[in-house]
Amino acid sequence: MKSRTTIKSIILETICLLYVLLFVYAAVSKLLDFENFEVQLGQSPLLSAFAGLIVWIAPLTELLISLLLLIKRFRLIGLFAAYSLMVMFTTYIYIILNYSSFIPCSCGGILEKMGWTEHLLFNLFFVIIALIGILVLTINNVTEFFIKPRIIYFSIFGSTVISIGFITLFFILSEDIIHHRNNFVRRYSGNAVKLNEIDLKVSSYYFAGATKEAIYLGNYTAPLLVTKLDSYLKKKTEFKIQPNRIEFPFQSVQVRISDTNFYLIDGSVPVIFKGKINDWKAFVKWEGSTTFSHYQLMDSLTLAIRSNNNESGESVLGSLYFGDKSKTYFNSKLLQKQIDGIFDVDGTLHFDKDIQKLVYVYLYRNQFIVADKDLKLNNRGKTIDTISQAQIKVRAVESRNEIKLAAPPLIVNKTSALYRNLLFINSALLGQYEPKEMWNDASIIDIYDINTNSYQGSFYVYNIKNEKLKNFSVVDNNFYGFIGSRLVHYKLSDILIKAYKN
């Protein structure tokens, strides 16, 4: 009998010692690498909204539990606390593995090098030995603690439910705060009325250009096809471009139309065709060595482009003149690096000929850049949401010499369009006091005056058959948007566009 009691005491002491070593090590690792731990929590989809609080609570709780386990008088409380904490950690990892994207482990030290599955098994082991410790300490009467089994089982069950529920609640609240309810309020001062729609049968169309009388569409799957629609989407005409050369290994060739000219452009090759819309015959205008990914026509022979720095590989905005003596110019100070200078500065490029302004809207942060046609900075504007730091994680794949996103990023500004001095942005974030039902049924368009860096108002564009707005263009008070295979036409109220300047 005495031998059995001794064995149980050794088991109990071993369990407590293992927990003390684990928690002290984890807590000290967090505190020694505090900045990194704080960053990791900030990237967590479960805890990011509460990172500022948890970054202190987690290591201090681990140290407190370790102290309770070392004092025999408080050992039962310590074991229940250790069990509950490990159930929380295990639930956290389970949600990460099944309901979330990859995020870095926030445990610190050697545990950080574990894979998620190994970490889950590791945690389950400690959950089990905590249960064994509780049972040994109470039901088997190793010490002065003796509690009826029914009470112990109920306490264990209650601790399990509360711990799982606590982490699940964190996940729900954090997802809602970070992805939907930032601390900003929209105003819907005007409205947009839907006038027409047309079913294009396929969803591979994009905007190639527009005038007040007509809009032109390109097609990703039929790159030489141009579709012309009148402004009310009633009359449809199709044209086929006839290039004089076809030997180029095109990867993403697109059409751009400006006045009476059209252009075939593929910045990844790179080559530029130019022709007239009266005959749709295209001739090579420029064939160079500068590659680019984003571009907008600023005049008949000049493109605004986004390219990459030859030395660092980081993205940079510039201009390309493709006349007889072609030349390029880059302003490396326009795009502001936060993480890697590539993904973190991703965005959409616009140019308006009426006001001769270039606008670049960041995809992952609440900022946009306004510059003149010479790429001189005019101002840096902000959208009304609160995401000023790009929430992305990048990883270098050394075997391929590539940098890739390691997790899905938080998108702030989905798509955008510029007409004169008004910037229209399809926001990805829900503001305060906005009904979630509307968020599920429509897309939100925010309007900004780039001259004054001011928010003008918002309006809804409603889904069609559960399909959301994909891309859009604005011409005067006409809003054209792609929703699935359909092109819709909205008329904007005077209140929404009152800030237009000549």
> Using one digit for the tens of pLDDT, what is the confidence trace for 274-297?
999 999 999 999 998 899 989 999
DSSP category for residue 467: B
> Which residues in 38-191 belong to E strands, given as ranges?
none
- Rounded CA separation 348/173 (Å): 31
Helix axes 75-99, 2-32, angle to 10 degrees: 60
Q: How is residue 98 written in tokens? A: 């099944």
Q: How far apart are the first and last CA of the chain?
A: 96
Instruction: Show Cβ contacts of residue 382 under 8 Å, excluding neighbours closer than 6 positions.
Output: 366, 367, 368, 388, 453
% pLDDT > 90, the chain: 51
Residue 487 banded pLDDT, cuts 50, 70, 90: very high
pLDDT at 31: 86
C-beta atoms surrounding 241 within 10 Å: 19
| Averaged pLDDT, 133-155 | 72
- Rounded to the nearest 5 percent, the helix, strand and coil shares of the chain are 30, 35, 35
Q: Which range (2-11, 220-229, 401-410, 435-444) has the least confidence?
A: 401-410
Q: Which range (359-363, 388-392, 393-397, 495-499) has the least confidence?
A: 393-397
Arithmetic mean of pLDDT over the chain? 86
- Tokens 């005491």, residue located: 9
**Alpha-carbon 431 to chain mean position:** 16
Long-range contacts of 308-315 (CB under 8 A, 24+ apart): 308/342, 312/341, 313/341, 313/342, 314/340, 314/341, 314/342, 314/345, 315/341, 315/342, 315/345, 315/346
What number of residues does the chain have?
502
Three-state DSSP at 338 gives coil
| Averaged pLDDT, 240-254 | 90
pLDDT at 211: 80
| Averaged pLDDT, 134-157 | 73
Amino acid at position 23, single letter: F
pLDDT at 105: 46
Checking if the pLDDT of 399 tops 90, the result is: no
Q: How is residue 118 written in tokens? A: 């190994």
- Rounded CA separation 79/69 (Å): 7
| Averaged pLDDT, 408-415 | 89
Checking if the pLDDT of 101 tops 50, the result is: no
Three-state DSSP at 213 gives coil
C-beta atoms surrounding 361 within 10 Å: 25
Q: In 3D, which of 31, 63, 73, 37 has the Cα closest to residue 52? A: 37
